[in-house]
Structure 1
């Protein structure tokens, strides 16, 4: 039986004018040879709401300082289980859609763990996500992206 550390997190689907989502490529220090792609986001700080955490993570990870009004309601919620640095987490996460045309990504706000484990970033279309050669989290991000951007 695996003991999980419970965690709440906010994730951000940062979408550009072409409908692409920004993802980071990272590695787990416990499994450095297995890179994967993931959205902006992270754990909630004490007393922080998911929307507040999403706004903070956008600032820290992409250098995008938006007003609180730019963070709408969550567009998706799920629970995931994963290891990171030999610790297993059960994470309840909420996803927020943020449209930001012309964003220049600034990763200078990364903390030490992010600097050590995130190797690159890029913008992905839903079609590219569906045929990615490395794991993407969440697993059906292509479908989620299509659903939340439909009609745009």
Structure 2
């Protein structure tokens, strides 16, 4: 989240589903804590070096990855505040370069009004409950 209360989202475009937006993140490596994974994924996907704040929520969801692998994911969402306004995508994998070509900072109202699907689907509601999230 930036100082204006906006959240960074990436737009995913894949051949097998409509485009969607999602927060930075990814898998937990063996032996890695959720906090360490959040820190590592943030650096890899955005170039932003910041420590995870509080875990905002957790959910267990089933979905099929962009590689076609069905997963049961234990998702953890952390609040990470940053002063960054740009990001560095030079550490993206080949898959990320192919499917995550656009990113944007969204405020709560833009999320609620957006015409494409955003994950987590209740992100606008979650932001409503955060201090400093109002723009």
Q: Establish whether TM, by shorter chain, passes 0.5.
A: yes
Whole-angstrom CA distance in 1 between matches of 2:117 and 2:22: 9
Find out whether 1:49 has 2:38 as its counterpart: no
CA distance in 2 between counterparts of 1:27 and 1:109 reads 19
Equivalent residue pairs, number: 133
Structure 1 residue 95 and structure 2 residue 77: aligned? yes
Of 120-129 and 110-119, deviating more is 110-119
Give the root-mean-square deviation of aligned CA atoms. Answer: 1.7
State the partner residue of 2:23: 39
Q: Is the 8 A contact 2:35 2:52 kept in 1?
A: yes
* In structure 1, distance between residues paired with 2:133 and 2:96: 34
Tell me the TM-score normalised to structure 1 length. 0.81
Residues 137 and 122 (structure 1), Cα distance of their counterparts in 2 relative to 1, 3 Å cut: same
Contact 2:57–2:77 (8 Å) recurs in 1 = yes
Q: Distance in 2 between matches of 1:151 and 1:24?
A: 19
Give the C-alpha shift of residue 150 in structure 1.
Answer: 5.3
CA contact (8 A) 1:27 1:35 kept: yes
Unaligned runs of 5+ in 1: 1-14
Q: Superposed, which structure 2 residues align to 1:3-152 within 5 Å?
A: 15-29=1-15, 31=16, 34-66=18-50, 70-84=51-65, 85-149=67-131
Distance 1:110 1:149, change over 3 A: farther
More strand by share: 1
- CA 82–64 in structure 1, closer or farther in 2 if over 3 Å, else same: same
